[in-house]
Amino acid sequence: MTANDVSVASPASAASAPGSTRVTRSSVRTVIGASMVGTAIEFYDFYAYGTASANYFPKLFFPKTDPTVALLASLLTFAIAFIARPLGSLIFGHFGDRQGRKTTLVVSLLTMGCSTVLIGVLPTYATWGLWAVVVLCLCRFVQGIGLGGEWSGAALVATENAPEGKRALYGSFPELGAPIGFFLANGTYFLLEMFCTPEQMLSWGWRVPFLLSAILVVVGLAVRVSMQETPIFQMALDQQKVVKTPLLEVFRKSWRQVLQATFLVAVTYTLFYTLATWSLAYGTKPKSQGGGGLGFTNQEYLLMLMVSILVFALFIVLACVYADRIGRRRVLIGSSVMLVVFSLVFPYLLMAHHNTFQVMVFLCVGFALMGIAFGPIGAFLPELFDANVRYSGSGIGYNLAAIVGAAFVPTIATWLSSHWGVRSVGLYLAVMAVCCLVAVLTCHETKDVDFTK
């Protein structure tokens, strides 16, 4: 055992045997790195693809169609990974509950990273024609498979290593990967667009963020290979509580919790991709291309997103601190109610031409609410499930939410805004917030549950 590791006793074993079963818990620094780096890469990859699908892929992969149709088609390829994620959660959840969190997370990271790098070297429609679109969709699907096992495993690495009374705070580590990944992806595009012409961005600049993902993957692998298995899973192994078919166990005993988890998370996906992907296209493209004609350049809007994402990170931590103090339900009920109000108000902030102040209010308030809604999820979802099916249960719920709340958000929001105006996008978000509120109200408070069972 290294100096950075501590030994913790199993309460169950200690109560039933003269000698306590002792397992190794990774240091706080290792837990932060192992849980945060994977989700940072996850969100980096998704943001990079989201930005490319909104700004570059319509011209690169769908050049012979109407501009609005090209944008919609490009955003549909964005949805493919979300459709694949539940399949990934089934695969990686099974092995995560059978073989352990560590090995499963290493494989999911490799799957995710390799497919992202392949997108960066993919020929476009001008070279391969329709096959370029087919291979792009295939890479996106494999990326989704890897992503399907990522978040739930990272959340378990954090929460199953957390000391008593700090599960939500530790659960914020993987959640903080979201703003970090977003900042890195958009920062890369921001610097590229600062030094490259639009022609250079279409020629080769769009590839750079995907290729740089390889560096993040190497760093992530180094951290995850060195970490210990989580104490909770090691206890399950020692006490022979690992089930042979965790997926069957989840759907037999915990299907209600899967549904609750799905709608708890779905609104955060809808809100995030409304803020980060749809609003980018809406703010920078003319109405003839499916945008809102607000008159911002890509560089201007990316800078505003990068500033507002800092608000996201701050409110993740604040929400988790309060979730440990007053409970997960109270925080999430408050965020859901505030999101309904925000949904009805924000369209009025996106009606003026090139009004930086109003757009910044929209982004900062939206990301603050996103942090409040998203932060406690890192602890709340795992706490809904028993330890021997926790990887599968939380992963399935989280990734089903990706389909319900995110897969078609940019496409739906673009279609709604172009046909019914921006107020219809607000109503769409309000409906998702109400669904989240109903899900929270059906859940019991989990702050004090015995996480070892």
Name residue 23's beta-bridge partners: 8
397-442 residue pLDDT tens: 998 998 888 777 878 888 888 889 899 999 999 999 999 999 999 9
pLDDT classification of 24: cutoffs 50, 70, 90: low
Per-chain mean pLDDT for the chain: 87
Highest mean pLDDT, choosing among 64-73, 160-169, 179-188, 260-269? 260-269
- pLDDT value at 322 more than 80: yes
pLDDT classification of 46: cutoffs 50, 70, 90: confident
pLDDT classification of 16: cutoffs 50, 70, 90: very low
Name residue 177's beta-bridge partners: none
What is the distance between the alpha carbons of residues 381 and 451, in angstroms, rounded to a whole number? 12
Neighbours of 326 (CB within 10 A): 13
Task: Of 331, 446, 307, give the one whose Cα is nearest residue 384.
Answer: 446
Task: Of 98, 101, 104, 94, give the one whose Cα is nearest residue 146.
Answer: 104
What is the distance between the alpha carbons of residues 238 and 244, in angstroms, rounded to a whole number? 15
123-145 residue pLDDT tens: 999 999 999 999 999 999 998 89
In this structure, which amino acid lies at residue 342? F
356-387 residue pLDDT tens: 999 999 999 999 999 999 999 999 999 999 98
Residue 353 CA from chain centroid, whole number: 31
Q: What is the DSSP secondary structure assignment for residue 149, as one 8-state letter?
A: T
Q: Which residue has the higher pLDDT, 202 or 51?
A: 202
Q: Which residue has the higher pLDDT, 51 or 420?
A: 420
273-284 residue pLDDT tens: 899 888 988 999
pLDDT classification of 9: cutoffs 50, 70, 90: very low
- pLDDT value at 12 more than 50: no
Residue 86: both structure tokens together: 């539940």
Domains recognised in the chain with CATH numbers: 26-441 (1.20.1250.20)
**Sign (positive or negative) of CA dihedral 396, 96, 185, 78:** negative
- pLDDT value at 56 more than 50: yes
Residue 144 CA from chain centroid, whole number: 11
**Sign (positive or negative) of CA dihedral 296, 343, 179, 116:** negative
What is the distance between the alpha carbons of residues 324 and 165, in angstroms, rounded to a whole number? 6
3-state SS, residue 15: helix
- pLDDT value at 2 more than 60: no
Residue 288's pLDDT is: 82
Residue 342's pLDDT is: 97
Rounded to two decimals, the pTM is 0.83
What is the distance between the alpha carbons of residues 414 and 58, in angstroms, rounded to a whole number? 14
**Cα pseudo-dihedral 187, 190, 191, 197, rounded to 10:** 160
Task: Of 369, 233, 280, give the one whose Cα is nearest residue 78.
Answer: 280
Q: Which residue has the higher pLDDT, 16 or 269?
A: 269
Task: Of 159, 158, 216, 215, give the one whose Cα is nearest residue 42.
Answer: 216
Residue 23 CA from chain centroid, whole number: 30
3-state SS, residue 57: helix
**Cα pseudo-dihedral 358, 361, 364, 368, rounded to 10:** -140
- pLDDT value at 43 more than 90: no
Give me the count of residues in the chain: 453
Neighbours of 27 (CB within 10 A): 16
- pLDDT value at 321 more than 80: yes
- Contact predicate 143/45, CB 8 Å: yes
Residue 3's pLDDT is: 38
What is the distance between the alpha carbons of residues 359 and 304, in angstroms, rounded to a whole number? 8
- pLDDT value at 290 more than 80: no
Q: Which residue has the tokens 């509950």?
A: 97
Q: Which residue has the higher pLDDT, 224 or 362?
A: 362
pLDDT classification of 18: cutoffs 50, 70, 90: very low
